[in-house]
Structure 1
């Protein structure tokens, strides 16, 4: 499989995204490896900063599945013995400076061996790229199941629905200390964020409008790195119109509790084999129907409330408010230096819509009880 190559020749033009190609649209299930790294220039990314998601698009094109691959999962890494799954990227990337191409390739090999599925293509997203993408789509809605306070900025992310700008999104993705589930909680929040990013892009027509997509990729510029493999990024974009829904279903590889001083987790001996078989056989929909409790219910189901919330630039006319209060906007727009660490709203950043949060929890509980996998995140 060819290694990914950063798209440094410039973003694709709108005409290239319309589909003027002789290549047929991919059929069958498609698997995309998404790797998020906290880029630090010439210093290799820390294993604890690596986020891993597997995007599975089923052959029936019903809707995508976002599968969290726990970073602390104990796995064999080719040429490096046994370690945490997240260690594969820095092992491959090396030092002075790190080679992201090799980091991705070793991660791909490790994930392919772990899951037994073909990785058709992959994307490496640095945190600076995620910050830009978030701002370009006007912020990302997330509904967090538990309160998070940043150990870096002291920003507070309440356990409710909120829209994050780029700086706040990156701040959230970096948090694991203080979470009840530690790194697994961070993995879950990353999955919630990724699903919200897809929704924001979809709501604005970015995924189906070649002009808007070209503009978005142009804003990201050379920081976007993709692996062509058997399916290029443009091939993947051509799949979007064939999906009955772009709203992702959020799942995680079933694992046990952390053990030992290294806090490794092991794949659940009963649930993981069944899950991986369903993934390999393109039967995740059936698996979700049997295990609706495994679908992450923390999902923004109140688009009207989100539209009612103030935009990234503040309440336009100074009067728009959601019922029960204004929905929180996580963080101020990024400053020109890209840091943007000031929280929006109150000094604590905890400006919430309590009424919306309570309704959200009730809706989630009802959907779970009814096996509502259609809207699960």
Structure 2
């Protein structure tokens, strides 16, 4: 058996995104490091962000995402390296002279001012003509659909309406880049989901570059054209939401984005186009490798398998070379309306999470606690990352 040669299938590789191919970036971080005393918040970071992107910085608290945003906004200065905006080095340029605006989670609306005056406050500070301020405020009110709320005070608004006022105020000065620092964190789940689509619509209509900081994976997946996953001041992977989810660069990225089963395996050989691996003391697995995979006999890898890729049945499915089959006992069932998640204990002791869409009423569900079940998934439903 021969192992997979990445060069032999290079032509099958996914093409480079149209967002990044042959284009000069609007924003470029070049070897940026930021320290606070002995603590390094950002370490030798390089990143390009294109014009008109909705770009997400995603990671746990303390990973450096907000620091990156503050460096770009001018609230902090880099320790080393530089940041370019539209080809201009931002070093030494104060925050109020950068074509960047920032929207905070707290919204920071003036309680004594009306909605219209809140939106126009920055324009008044820059000494715009009164008629021009009024025209711009009217334009922003229409953009966020708050024309009938112009004379209200912030305390007379709902959380979602206050969020839209803050957005309108941030956009009033026509920035090239809008920075959003956890802008939806104060909203309830349903309103947050609605507002995500409103943000996407506004960004698309204005043709601006939005950069959002969030620790909410679902939010980043929903709004973003690309996502940068961060850990301890470094970028672990920057790619489209689909690539981040389906083809994570590491087990950390896979585990951070959504639910996942991470299985330690040992590579065994090839069977045609399928890679073979062993796990749990000898169980055979078939995996369809990616063009970039480097496969060495005996190497230890981590298999990334999403719960929704697994089919759960009481009867054993027909065996096939490209289908993996394991058997176990249902220990837990979690019902979330549209889907049910099953925690299945395999005979070797490993716990696997599988998810099935609820196509039938729960009263007609065939699988229950303590049932013996079969889990099956296709070879192309999982990916390998370094252990």
TM-score w.r.t. structure 1 length? 0.21
Larger proportion of strand:
2
Greater relative contact order (Cα < 8 A, sep 6+): 1
Larger proportion of helix:
1
TM-score w.r.t. structure 2 length? 0.21
